[in-house]
Structure 1
Amino acid sequence: MNKKKIICPECRTYTGYIIRKEKRKYIIRDQEYYFDITVAYCEKCGEEIEVPGLLDLQMKEVDEQYRKKENIVFIDEIEKLMTLYDIGKAPLSLGLGFGEITITRYLKGQVPSKEYSDIIKNALESPKYMLNKLIENKNKIAANAFEKAEKCALNLEKMFNISSKMLSTISYIFEESLEITPLALQKILYFIQGIYLALYDVPLFDEDCYAWVHGPVYNSVYNLFKEFKYNPIDDDRFMILKNRFEELTEQERNVIQLVLNSFGNYSGKVLEEITHQEDPWINSRNGYSFLEPSDNLIEKNQIQLYFKKIDKEYSLRNIKEINRHINEQLELKNK
């Protein structure tokens, strides 16, 4: 909000004003709340005054803080749900079991009840829940709207065949990376798992890794993103992963960030070439020619032993040391 001079209604002076944040009491649905609200005071007489745009800002602050405190869905989350399932306001409303214009009212700013908010949040978090809601209310929705939303739900449901930790890890990678290809994602996941195993003796996620021609691959992740081929992953469906990374511990995030700040600076092809020089992939591909397809398991203990060896030589807690290891691997490749 731009600070301009105004006429103070108290002292009738053309003067400036001071902006502050203060706790104010509000009664909403018979409950008492205290919110941090922006207020303005006259520089001349010190009385609280109204300035242009302030009331709208205060209403927005109350709305946001109330929704956050009561875990009520936000407008942008409802818009996200519509995008995820390629569905309009009226069919979404009916599909969730609401009245036809309920979602329209929510998009205009009406705050949902906790019951209805929880339904929307559940639909946003679980494609299976959304699919069940759509089927339950199928007779209320136009056929083509139902079919489009059902197709989206079925596609999204495939994503949840992956473990929660893997989804959270991918969510963090998406949050921190401007763009990433499926090939680069596979290798980043492999290095994250390797370093985490070396430092903490447990896997970050449960999925097994396999030795394919182009390096270590997590099959379920490959199936999820294979349609992008060598292009960056970009699809509204994956908005459902946004903020899942908040479930990760600080320890887990630190390891992911270490990998992104080091290995993450290279293309998928370069990362593939690095893995081709490492024992876990080489040993699991034993007996195969260079371009011969294979789907052999790379045992987690093989990955752990290899990265523990690297940790002893380079210290995998230190980003400079990780980069030194990468540079030496790249120099070895070019010899």
Structure 2
Amino acid sequence: MKEKGRLDFCTVCRKEAEYTLKKRDIIKTIKNREYTFNITVAVCNECGEEMSLPGLIDKNIQEVDEQYRTYECIVSVEDIEKLMKIYKIGKAPLSLALGFGEVTITRYLSGQIPSKEYSDILRMALSSPAFMKKKLHENKEKIASAAYNKAIEAATQLETLFSVSDKMLRVISYVFKKLEEVTPLMLQKLLYFIQGMSYALNKKPMFCENCQAWVHGPVYPEVYDMFRNFKYNPIEDARFAIFEGREEELTGDESKVIDLVVNTFGEYGGKMLERITHEEAPWKLARKGYADNIPSSEPILMENIEAYYTEKNEEYDFSSEDGLRSYIRDILQ
């Protein structure tokens, strides 16, 4: 990419010259092993030689660091900061809780690269509240009681987030990744549509959880409990960073279903999505005999979801966004 109008001194041309930023591979040996890193260089547009720009060396160091961590599956500085936010714990207490030296986390945050063994411990703490609780209990005597109690409380609250299946967590993670703003009401309806589209396109459910026919449409009770404190507000909390990365475990067919739903139904707010579900047979059948505002926990039968979306798929072709948009448009009219 050419940096038009950007000038710097070229030591070969001996004058100010325009340059182009390019990528090139370099080979470095770290701990007796060779690695290929792709770094940014500035090339003089006149002589073609590389130029030394202010800040470029720092950028290269960052690029090499990030790529090395990826090669070796080493946690990043951002991962460690995320861990501290999730468990509301400081650098020294986290070090001690995980069985490290007191200043270990401080060194990692300053750029020192963790060993594979310590990196794996940090990853486990980031992905498993149960593992974090175990480490906190093991090292309780080393940590101040206030820090210990705060971290234990956060870990206990996080465990409730894992009351749903791994597949449900992966789907929620992917929805969070795809959409900037998701309210609990919107999430519930998107999960319901994802389940329906999975039946229509992949001939099987996306996840094992059953939803219920509540007044405001289909609801997965376990998911409702996870996010109930947000009410009608967007879901935004450092704790939910623990979901990040789980979407990578989805298959291509599963990701395609979620993409289709998010790119179509995801364009609407929660109340509009609620209105769509109220026009569909599965929710209506489960609500039979209930007045509009009477609560119910009647299950929306999976076979009804499967039958409905399979039939509508034959009519609209849900394998394309155009087909889904036609369905949405017709049902809203």
Q: Does 1:144 align with 2:184?
A: no
Partner residue of 2:78?
Answer: 76
Q: 1:47 to 1:232 in 2, by over 3 A?
A: closer
Q: 1:328 to 1:56 in 2, by over 3 A?
A: same
Deviation, structure 1 residue 250: 2.1
Pick one of 4, 7, 10 that aligns with 1:4: 7
Partner residue of 2:105?
Answer: 103
Pick one of 210, 217, 220 that aligns with 1:218: 220
**C-alpha RMSD of the superposition:** 1.9
Deviation, structure 1 residue 177: 1.5
Q: Give the Cα separation in 2 of the matches to 1:226 and 1:5.
A: 55
Instruction: Within 5 Å, give how 1:290-329 maps onto structure 2.
Output: 290-329=292-331
**Aligned with 1:98: secondary structure?**
coil
Asked whether the equivalents of residues 67 and 74 of structure 1 are also in contact (C-alpha less than 8 Å), the reply is yes
Q: Give the Cα separation in 2 of the matches to 1:259 and 1:12.
A: 56
Asked whether the equivalents of residues 15 and 42 of structure 1 are also in contact (C-alpha less than 8 Å), the reply is no
Instruction: Within 5 Å, give how 1:163-202 maps onto structure 2.
Output: 163-202=165-204
Q: Normalization by structure 1: what TM-score?
A: 0.92
Pick one of 23, 26, 29 that aligns with 2:28: 26
Pick one of 50, 59, 62 that aligns with 2:61: 59
Map Cα deviations across residues 194-247 of structure 1 (whole Å, 9 max, x no partner).
Answer: 011012211111111111222111111011011111222111111111232122
Map Cα deviations across residues 75-131 of structure 1 (whole Å, 9 max, x no partner).
Answer: 011000001111111111111110111000000000111111111111111111111
Letter in 1 for 2:273: L
Q: Percent identity?
A: 51
Letter in 2 for 1:137: N
Q: Give the Cα separation in 1 of the matches to 2:44 and 2:329.
A: 61
| More divergent stretch after superposition (145-154 vs 40-49) | 40-49
| More divergent stretch after superposition (222-231 vs 280-289) | 280-289
Deviation, structure 1 residue 40: 4.4
Asked whether the equivalents of residues 198 and 304 of structure 1 are also in contact (C-alpha less than 8 Å), the reply is yes
Pick one of 231, 240, 243 that aligns with 1:241: 243
Partner residue of 2:257?
Answer: 255
Q: Is there any run of 5+ residues in structure 2 with no aligned partner, and where?
A: none
Q: 1:312 to 1:142 in 2, by over 3 A?
A: same
Q: Number of aligned residue pairs: give it.
A: 329
**Aligned with 1:296: secondary structure?**
coil
**Aligned with 2:299: secondary structure?**
strand
Q: 1:265 to 1:37 in 2, by over 3 A?
A: closer
Letter in 2 for 1:84: I
Partner residue of 1:91?
Answer: 93
Asked whether the equivalents of residues 15 and 43 of structure 1 are also in contact (C-alpha less than 8 Å), the reply is no
Letter in 1 for 2:119: S
Deviation, structure 1 residue 162: 1.2
Q: Give the Cα separation in 1 of the matches to 2:53 and 2:62.
A: 15
